[in-house]
Amino acid sequence: MISTKRRDDRRAAWWFLLPVLAGFAIFYGYPAARGIWYSVTDYSMLNTPSYVGVDNYAKLVRDDQFWNALLVTGWYVILNIGSQTLLALGIAALMHRLTRSVVLRATLLLPWLVPNVTVGLLWLFLLDTNLGFVNHLVRAFDMQPIGFFTDATWAMPSVAAINTWAYTGYTALLLYAGMLQIPQYLYEGASIDGAGEWRMFRRITLPLLRPVLALVLVVSLIGSFQIFDTIAVTTRGGPVSATRAIYYYIYQQAFTYFHMGYAAAAAICLALILGVLTAIQMRLLRASRSDLA
């Protein structure tokens, strides 16, 4: 035994960590293990789970609805992340060059602070075929009103647009915070050299923002894959399966049809996809820290 003079706070540490470790064990560790177990069983919440090997996974691979859910989610992610990132970047750049106003920033943050359910309801009304304000505008241009949520072509773009509305301000503020870290003298120098705004944006802002932008992108991507609330309020997966995204599909399998084992297997597939994205996020988090230091 080597006697050390180092402090050992073992006993105190145990009490400091107790609630968090208990929470972790009961609501993260245990359910994770249980989830893996359910995924190889046949379980409806009423029976005791019976082991069925990889049946659930084999069924998933052949399940058109599962692939449709992935496909629809992918389409949503592209629409949502694409529009949201571009808009946010533009808004952040505008704010960065125009103003430091806290009131403006707070206003832009407002949609993010509101529950997705409320946002969904608001737009369900605004985009309603008969009474929605947007369709009043459409009619004012002498066009046929659009069934934003009832037309299969429009439904997913509508859902994506709603969430873009809700999260663009928040994303813009994150990017804006990144822009504030870019030294001001770079812009002053460039402007003395006669560079225009667009040129400064492309040559200074974009390259120096890259680490923050990458991080924001991955975080929004992970969130975007988990689209549920808005769909639950507006389309409930319809028309037919046009908006039945993977989260909603898993929810229905589990709580509408009580295919718990099957839903658990699907959840694991989604978790794998998200796990890869999160690993990338962790990488970027480290990268961005050293970059901005």
Per CB under 8 A, the list member of 16, 51, 67, 257 interacting with other proteins is 16
Could you tell me if 73 and 245 are in contact, meaning their C-beta atoms sit under 8 angstroms apart?
A: yes
Per CB under 8 A, the list member of 52, 65, 75, 122 interacting with other proteins is 122
DSSP of 26-41: IIIIHHHHHHHHHTTE
Asked whether position 102 contacts other proteins by CB under 8 A, the answer is: yes
# residues contacting other proteins (CB under 8 A): 98
Residues 258-287 that bind other proteins (CB under 8 A): 260, 263-264, 267-268, 270-271, 274-275, 278-279, 282
Asked whether position 35 contacts other proteins by CB under 8 A, the answer is: yes
Asked whether position 143 contacts other proteins by CB under 8 A, the answer is: no
Q: Of 25 and 54, which CB lies nearer to other proteins in the complex structure?
A: 25
Q: Of 82 and 196, which CB lies nearer to other proteins in the complex structure?
A: 196
Per CB under 8 A, the list member of 89, 208, 215, 231 interacting with other proteins is 215
Long-range contacts of 147-156 (CB under 8 A, 24+ apart): 149/124, 149/234, 149/235, 149/239, 150/239, 151/239, 152/239, 152/240, 152/242, 155/235, 155/238, 155/239, 155/242, 155/243, 156/72, 156/75, 156/76, 156/79, 156/242, 156/243
Asked whether position 117 contacts other proteins by CB under 8 A, the answer is: yes
Q: Beta strand 50-51 with 41-42: parallel, antiparallel or unpaired? A: antiparallel
Residues 168-187 that bind other proteins (CB under 8 A): 169-170, 173-174, 177-178, 180
